[in-house]
Chain A
């Protein structure tokens, strides 16, 4: 049945306002989702340009293009912008678009707050980017901003960085509260938690992670602020403080943060693979439990980022064992995806290509993560390009590929038009080749002994650095094709059906394409439960 309910007595049921103020004042979850997604894409290109500056400098040994001071600003800003500006807002954008449509809600539960949480971001990132033009330059202490390099030895712009982080944190917390409240209160009557699509589940858990750890991040930058301007010495050994305390607090935020950037990706892939395998997701219950276990474990493994800070052996062993445990629920997820594909009837449209590449390449990143958890071996891997390869494998062909898969998968629902399949596949293959040529050789460079955040390197690392740089430019420029495909799809194209994909299941496919400005003004009736 059609779940689009005509609303006969409600004159609020209208289309969007015209002009710029529509976007400034909007409280519509679809508009806000769109804003988030475009913002994140703009940040993705900005952070990407910085990555290309880095890779261009590393194309050959020697300092050709930039000086080390600026190189450090690029690595720092690239990391901050990609984490806080590209990946996180993209997932919030997807949550805005999809969560209400998946649970049969008319909008997010707190629409005005939704507007605020988006509009904070452009200010936060303008402030962060403006530091590039300040005296002394932008933050240059790495995205992990370890004290005392980020306090006693920081450029003056560090204060702007601190306030930008505060703003991003406020935005994230408000966004997360909205997601939690929406999911817990606005589900269509009869939809139990264990009936929710996995994307909704993973976002519910992600939102709790965000609410738990963003205040910790706010705390640590506030302590920095106090150290810099108000004479405290939280992180200064000279004043009786402890530089290692900074790392403990930072990673107590930082480790859940990396799961914040991957759990929604699990949800996306769990939606796409069943559709194109034309087969139910294997092990729904265990997927939910695995996600919850990963989220729990993420709080108790933070110091595996700090194996070389000289913790006592008991600490090293505990954090090693706890970290290894994460492999179990993560393995369950990968096996479930493989089992979903097994004996299916698969087709490989662009979303499926990105989803399958996600599973394989994320698993490579997961396996190198397992290697990194082994403390004695980590002493050799730590802070080398092996780590860079590892976390880029889980973030680029992990999080970013899942976001692209989601964009292709739901674009027809959002725009009412099919994207150009040939161009989409071209984009996939360019990205796939580019990503692997960029990051696979970084495993070698790291094992051979090149530390990360080096603007220049010894001659034995030259060959693979050159290969990696070539890959980065292929990957970077192929994202312009993505931009073109999206714009082309918005402008027109083959009309999409309501169901869009042959095997797709879920409430969002029961409404018209493009999705009307207001959906589910009255709750839909759920199909008979077929959950085993």
Chain B
């Protein structure tokens, strides 16, 4: 990637001496990692803000290194020279008012020197006004939902973005590919050079939405909507992670943002709006059992499998088995209800906002007729839609 090369080039030009310090500290540990500066330091990122943050980081880092070198230098010199074994006699001084004033007051000025640029950067980061695009970012256990807010509800694009890496890779049954644990099925797509505002919230526990290249990290908290923003200057794929412990699969809900040219963004958005319209239409048609089972299996793998497992056996007691017991072979209304509304006080989420009615109908039908369950009944998307609408 061109971005990476230029980053390495500039990093080397500007900070050769600092690199040497770190490299020396790292010496003898791993030669391989030394070759890659990005494995050692913060990214410069691709927004004006992220570069400001990087410069601020390097400034305070440099100040800290200088202080460290001075203080440790004095101590090491003293340890080498003022030794009993060299016959050094102890001095008798035990205080010096001048010195003590000096090392109380000088640090205050150093701190002010750090606080001034930090304050101005923070003010820039907090000014989320003038947004050209508003995207709601909603955390779920353990995936992200992106909604492109639009005053016209039929134009509103909404989708779930979840991990693409298959379990076989993290259970070491197949080789790990590039972007292991860093790829998603549906990346967030934004145009470059536009002021994009992220409205960040959560549906269950606290998550945190972090894209290092934008220097954006905001907690997604149920009941709150927090703002962050970015103007991305270069097209590219930028990867981030959830950074607040959110349960079992905290490490398995990456973020991928694809920044594209305005024209490409517009055609992508139009396509998504078309898809949304199609979903609307599919909900209205009458589905066959085979169609429901086929779609249901896909939906199950995407939405249910991480807890209830591929074979439906779950991980009791937190994630109960769906095979031959409980609601999966019980009354269908209760089964639909738990998928739509979740179960309070348990890990079972409400899927009404994450899955469309066709997907819910399909997955309920699938669960009732897979793994040896043979209830034989099915539910039409229309019925699920009616249920959700009546509740709203």
A345 & B247 in contact (Cβ 8 Å cutoff): no
A379 & B215 in contact (Cβ 8 Å cutoff): yes
Residue in chain A with minimal CB distance to B49? A376
A279 & B247 in contact (Cβ 8 Å cutoff): no
Residue in chain A with minimal CB distance to B213? A449
Within 8 A of A (CB), among B82-107: 82-85, 88-96, 99-100, 103-104, 107
Given A332-B103, A344-B82, A384-B243: A242 and B25 interface contact (C-beta under 8 Å): no
Given A64-B172, A243-B206, A244-B224: A346 and B82 interface contact (C-beta under 8 Å): yes
- Closest-CB distance, A475 to chain B (whole angstroms): 15
Given A238-B223, A371-B57: A376 and B94 interface contact (C-beta under 8 Å): no
Answer yes or no: B60 CB below 8 A from chain A CBs: yes
Question: Which of these binds chain B: A99-107, A183-191, A310-318, A513-521?
Answer: A310-318
- Closest-CB distance, B172 to chain A (whole angstroms): 4
B90 & A338 in contact (Cβ 8 Å cutoff): no
Given A341-B75, A345-B90: A464 and B30 interface contact (C-beta under 8 Å): yes
Answer yes or no: A528 CB below 8 A from chain B CBs: no
Contacting A454 at CB < 8 Å: which of B90, B126, B251? B251
Within 8 A of B (CB), among A204-257: 237-238, 242-244
B344: which A residues are within 8 A, CB to CB? 152
Tell me the count of chain B residues lying within 8 A, CB to CB, of chain A: 103
A380: which B residues are within 8 A, CB to CB? 42, 53, 57, 212, 215, 217
Given A61-B176, A155-B318, A374-B118: A148 and B53 interface contact (C-beta under 8 Å): no
B84 & A451 in contact (Cβ 8 Å cutoff): no
A342 to B88, CA, bound (A): 11
B141: which A residues are within 8 A, CB to CB? 153
- Closest-CB distance, B221 to chain A (whole angstroms): 5
Contacting A346 at CB < 8 Å: which of B33, B79, B96, B221? B79
Main secondary structure of the interface of B (DSSP, over half): mixed
Answer yes or no: A480 CB below 8 A from chain B CBs: no
B94 & A448 in contact (Cβ 8 Å cutoff): no
Binary flags per residue of A51-80, CB closer than 8 Å to B gives 1, else 0 = 000000000011110001100100000000
B318: which A residues are within 8 A, CB to CB? 69, 136, 155
A148 to B247, CA, bound (A): 11
A146 & B245 in contact (Cβ 8 Å cutoff): yes
A363 & B71 in contact (Cβ 8 Å cutoff): yes
A371: which B residues are within 8 A, CB to CB? 57, 60-61, 64
B210 & A451 in contact (Cβ 8 Å cutoff): yes
- Closest-CB distance, A457 to chain B (whole angstroms): 7
Residue in chain A with minimal CB distance to B226? A310
Question: Number of residue pairs across A and B with beta carbons under 8 Å?
Answer: 302
Answer yes or no: A6 CB below 8 A from chain B CBs: no
B68 & A463 in contact (Cβ 8 Å cutoff): no
Within 8 A of B (CB), among A447-478: 447-449, 451-461, 463-464, 466-467
A464 to B215, CA, bound (A): 23
A324 & B114 in contact (Cβ 8 Å cutoff): yes
Answer yes or no: A302 CB below 8 A from chain B CBs: no
Answer yes or no: B263 CB below 8 A from chain A CBs: no
A283 & B119 in contact (Cβ 8 Å cutoff): no
A309: which B residues are within 8 A, CB to CB? 219, 221
A367: which B residues are within 8 A, CB to CB? 64, 67-68
Residues of B within 8 A of A (CB): 22, 25-26, 29-30, 32-33, 36, 38-43, 52-53, 56-57, 60-61, 64, 67-68, 71-72, 74-75, 78-79, 82-85, 88-96, 99-100, 103-104, 107-108, 111, 114-115, 118-119, 121-123, 125-126, 141, 169-172, 176, 178-182, 204-206, 208, 210, 212, 215-219, 221-224, 226, 241-252, 315, 317-318, 344-345, 347
A–B Cβ pairs within 8 angstroms, 9 of them = A72-B250, A242-B223, A343-B88, A345-B89, A371-B57, A371-B60, A379-B215, A454-B241, A456-B251
